[in-house]
Structure 1
């Protein structure tokens, strides 16, 4: 998947923002509580949607469902000036009832339309990353497919560990080392 430089950078910032909200200083999971607080402060956070959209977009975390991964992949490859209006995405993105209420608040802002499209892209990318990580974990545990990966376009038949082992063995061979059985661990 090809991301535009805009989404490449913003995805990292969005992931970092969610990671920051996830736990408190004692390591307790406080994500739900902190997201609820962000949602309650949405009106006050609106001035940030242009300069730091990732800090406001987290309020929508978990509130969007995607019907077309092709549409979302196309959007994440675009620059912000080329993004379509939010209304055109409504056939591909559905909102949870609480997220619909938030969207009504955001759409009152002159930049709210574009912000919702950007937020949908960030949520799609976050969900895709999470699905990919789950798929890789399942593969390494021997579970090939949980039936949910197709939603994000993940090929769960790829042997990630085997591909990495093979690439590592190829590289070591190129460096002059004897090629050994990938499961022996001896090089």
Structure 2
């Protein structure tokens, strides 16, 4: 996969935005709550798609299913002026049911089609096994893994691999915390 300079730079900003949303001042994982709050503000946030796309793209976190990874590999290698329309990506990317209303708001904005391609590309990079490994290698947070996982379609609920096992545990812990239970450390 060849990343365009656009996606290389924006990927870091997107990851930083997710990281900022993840923990509160006490170190508790509050990503789910903060994303829910941001999603309620989509009307306002949609006005920022040109200025700060990474700040708006996070509302679509885990909102895409990637059925044709090769099309997304191609997308993340392009510069913004060469992005396909959102409708042209419909065979390679589908929205989770909860994300449809958010997309409708964004698509009404000038540049909404291009932004949806950006959001899908950023989320694809977030879930792509090789890109996740590259991010961990850059930050030295995790050991490198061998293997080529590019052959399988990706989706936000794909339960293969250690990263997704950890995500599942975090999701479970988040749910329990939302129900009033203390976190187990």
Instruction: Output the TM-score relative to the length of structure 1.
Output: 0.72
Do structure 1's residue 109 and structure 2's residue 98 form an aligned pair?
A: no
Match of residue 65 from structure 1: 65
What SS does the aligned partner of 1:24 have? coil
Q: 2 CA distance for matches of 1:98 and 1:137?
A: 34
Is 2:63–2:96's contact at 8 Å kept on the other side of the alignment?
yes
Report Cα offsets for 1:138-165 as digits up to 9, x if no partner.
Answer: 958xxx79x897335xxx9xxxxxxxxx
- Residue 85 (structure 2) aligns with: 85
TM-superposed CA distance for 1:46, in Å, is 1.4
Q: 1:94 to 1:131 in 2, by over 3 A?
A: farther
Q: Distance in 2 between matches of 1:57 and 1:106?
A: 10
Inter-partner Cα distance in structure 2 for 1:70 and 1:149? 9
In structure 1, the gaps of 5 or more residues are 157-187
Counterparts in 2 of 1:137 and 1:39: CA distance versus 1, 3 Å: same
1:80-138 Cα deviation digits (max 9, x unpaired): 000010000011101111111110111111111110010000000011134776xx769
Q: Hey, what does 1:99 align to over in structure 2?
A: 99
* Alignment correspondent of 1:12: 12
- Return 5+ residue gaps in structure 2 as ranges: 137-141, 155-160, 162-185
User: 2:6–2:79: 8 Å Cα contact kept in structure 1?
Assistant: yes
Kept in 2: contact 1:14–1:122 (CA 8 A):
yes
Instruction: From 141, 150, 153, give the equivalent of 2:152.
Output: 150
TM-score (norm 2): 0.73
Secondary structure (helix, strand or coil) at the match of 1:150 reads coil
Larger radius of gyration: 1
Matches of 2:34 and 2:110, distance apart in 1: 26
Q: Is the 8 A contact 1:131 1:149 kept in 2?
A: no
RMSD between superposed Cα atoms in Å:
2.4
| Aligned 8 A contact 2:17 2:58 in 1 | yes
